[in-house]
Amino acid sequence: MHEISLIKSILKTIEHEMEKCGAKKLNSLTLRIGTLTAVEPEAMQFAFNSSIEKTAMEGATLCIIETKLSGRCRECGTEFALSEFDSPCPICAGLDIKRLTGTELDIISMDVD
Ligand SMILES: [Zn+2]
């Protein structure tokens, strides 16, 4: 369960942002999580709910957008969905692939009062 430590650091960022803009209450939070982060959405949800108990963020909802692995071939520029780590390019069979999505863990938006 690395979700607990992840959500704790995310919430620290949120707290900081809320302080900066003088927000009193967090209504909802949207995260984008890539498949390669090995984060379980359900575990993340659980970690989130237990971490915000008895804080200013209690009652907020968490929305998770999962992104699949995708990459771009450095040989021919084709962008495609990767099924696994070392999938070759479907066009030229090149193996020099730049990963585009799948490893991110971003805060997309937060709704505060
Ligand atoms: Zn290619």
pLDDT confidence band for 1 (50 / 70 / 90): low
Instruction: For residue 83, report the distance from its CA to the centre of ligand 1, in Å.
Output: 15
Q: pLDDT of 37-80, one tens digit each?
A: 989 999 999 999 999 999 989 999 999 999 999 999 999 999 99
Q: Is CATH 2.20.25.10 the classification given to domain 3-68+101-112?
A: no
Instruction: For residue 66, report the distance from its CA to the centre of ligand 1, in Å.
Output: 25
pLDDT at 56: 86
Percentage above 90 pLDDT, the chain: 87
Helices vs. strands in the chain: H and E counts, helices first: 2, 6
Q: Is the pLDDT of residue 31 over 80?
A: yes
pLDDT at 83: 78
Instruction: For residue 77, report the distance from its CA to the centre of ligand 1, in Å.
Output: 6
- Give me the torsion for CA of 11, 17, 18, 20, rounded to 10°: 150
Instruction: For residue 98, report the distance from its CA to the centre of ligand 1, in Å.
Output: 11
SS3 95: coil
Query: Mean of the pLDDT values across residues 78-85?
Result: 85
DSSP for residue 83:
S
Question: How much is the pTM?
Answer: 0.83
The domain locations on the chain are 3-68+101-112
Instruction: For residue 81, report the distance from its CA to the centre of ligand 1, in Å.
Output: 13
Instruction: For residue 92, report the distance from its CA to the centre of ligand 1, in Å.
Output: 4
What Å distances lie between residue 100 and 56, 71, 103, CA to CA? 35, 5, 8
pLDDT confidence band for 85 (50 / 70 / 90): low
